[in-house]
Chains A and B, each alone.
Chain A
Amino acid sequence: MDLLQGTIGFKRRFKNRLFSVSCVIAAAIALLFFLLILFFLIKNGMTHLNLTLFTQDTPAPQQAGGLRNAIIGSIMVSGLGIIIAAPLGILIATFLANFSGKGRLAKTVRFVNDVLLSTPSIVIGLFAYSLCVRPFGHFSAFAGAVALAMIALPMITRSSEDVLYLVPSMLEESAVAMGIARWRITFKIVYRVVSSGLITGSLLAFARISGETAPLLFTALNNNFTTLSFLKPVATLPVVIYQFALSPYKDWQNIAWAGALLITVAILLLNLFARFLARK
């Protein structure tokens, strides 16, 4: 048999080409939109990016000001959201991956998790409202964090479960075979093996919830001043951007552009950092 003789037909080569070119075009379109967003944000936001953004609170219409209260509020609400969601999500994932076998409970939990993953964020906001705002009679950063935690939870559960499956079962077995209790194996060996994967999942969830707007409208609401109290309403970047961008005031619109650029760059950096960690 002569491998060098005979060529692949024109039709087959054409089909192959057509397919790879379509893939490249699709990828280029996705990239194009991302670059366009970034371009407009930089074009409109860059000139309004300055230090007062970080040192002053949101202003009254037609006055100078910044986004300090919103930046701090966003970090508070998203941060507490992840602090609530990450341990819970990792524990649920541990149950699913290591302790449940193929039981019916695990199937149910996985299904509920998938449903939660695709629940509209506005619905989650309403739920958090009835859970954490109505009974106390006022909006609060805490209620916002609870809403964001509910969005982050299914993401963290899913990503952690995937990561936990990467731990070779033989590693766990060999620890069990030495008479080590399973909770200790889970904390000292299993989590340690996949720690960067678990952290990456939580960071990506953090990046995602820090851009959420709808669930915060009914929960954290807004605040014109900086507060560090979780029991008071707080401003957050997405909500302030939403409010300012729709306003008729030029100053507010400019701050909204700067805020949008700020949060996009922050999320971009978070994603890059998470990827860097995952590669390690």
Chain B
Amino acid sequence: MSFLEIKDLSFSYGKVPVLKNINATIPEQATTALIGASGSGKSTLLRCINRIFELYRQHNVSGDILLNGHNLLDKRVNINVLRKKIGMVFQKPTPFPMSIFENIAFALRLHEKLNKKEMHERVEEALKRAALWDEVKDDLHKAGAYLSGGQQQRLCIARTIALRPDILLLDEPTSALDPISTSKIEELVLKLKKEFTIIMVTHHLQQARRLSDQVIFMHDGRIVESGDNHSFFSAPQEKLTQEYLKYQSEE
């Protein structure tokens, strides 16, 4: 049985359909890249998986998203527990207005009862796994906003994995970063996929190629083609995919 399974998922904001009958399976402990042009619905698909779309009104969702057989879209699901299990990192770094330590401890404290020592261990562990510990270990009390953009983004990854989620949703996590910070995040993603199931939206074909095991190509709210990294990039079947790959590689 596959880990995460999306069945007949349709989604609309008001009367505007954004996702049209999506079916996909996401393999465990691997990276799935969602690619496609702006407006193709890949971010929306990501935002369905942790139900963050519910922040906004007038959405309409149908279909199932099954995590180990349980439907995430079921209204009875405890949404806060769901979001602990499914972490998300956004396009831009979003450090909370508090210290580096508190950035990680803040949500952790709400989800788990930890004593002071355990809390310190978890914060350290999270920062180490996010490859940020060595850079900030002496500045844990400093505000998260003092870090560089790339460090802030790794802080956001650290506080997300501190909750020990099963799935990591990455929404173009490097789009606001310089090339060096980007390559650090990419290294990190390669390391993290051994422990987490990662679903990543990206605009960079090369990034998708470097990082992903599986690729899903979307266009106009539908999945055009999906497959494992090698076959998707070397022998795309659909005409739309071929055109997209060609157009992007020319850039």
Q: Which residues of A contact B (CB under 8 A)?
A: 101-103, 168, 170-181, 184, 188-189, 192-193
Contacts and interface: CB of A to CB of B under 8 A. Distances in A.
B50 interface: yes
Closest 10 CB pairs of A and B: A179-B83, A179-B80, A177-B88, A178-B107, A174-B94, A101-B57, A192-B97, A179-B84, A171-B94, A193-B97
Contacts of B92: 168, 170
Contact of A176 (B83, B96, B106): B83
Interface in B90-109: 90-92, 94, 96-98, 106-107
A184 B98 contact: no
B111 A179 contact: yes
A94 to B, nearest CB: 15
B87 interface: yes
B113 to A, nearest CB: 15
Q: Categorize the interface residue count of chain B.
A: 20 to 34
Given A101-B56, A103-B57, A192-B98, A177 B87 contact: yes
A179 B57 contact: no
B55 A175 contact: no
A189 B96 CA distance: 6
B185 to A, nearest CB: 16
A186 to B, nearest CB: 13
Contacts of A171: 94, 96
A170 B94 contact: yes
A175 B110 contact: no
A175 B58 CA distance: 21
Nearest to B85: A179
Nearest to B162: A178
Interface string B210-237: 0000000000000000000000000000
B88 A174 contact: yes
Contacts of A101: 56-58
B163 interface: yes
B79 interface: yes
26 contacts: A101-B57, A101-B58, A102-B57, A103-B57, A170-B90, A173-B90, A174-B88, A176-B83, A177-B83, A177-B90, A177-B160, A178-B83, A178-B84, A178-B107, A179-B79, A179-B84, A179-B107, A179-B111, A180-B80, A180-B110, A181-B110, A184-B110, A188-B98, A188-B106, A192-B97, A192-B98
Contacts of B156: 174
User: Of residues B55, B110, B159, which shows the largest number of chain A Cβ atoms within 10 Å of its Cβ?
Assistant: B55
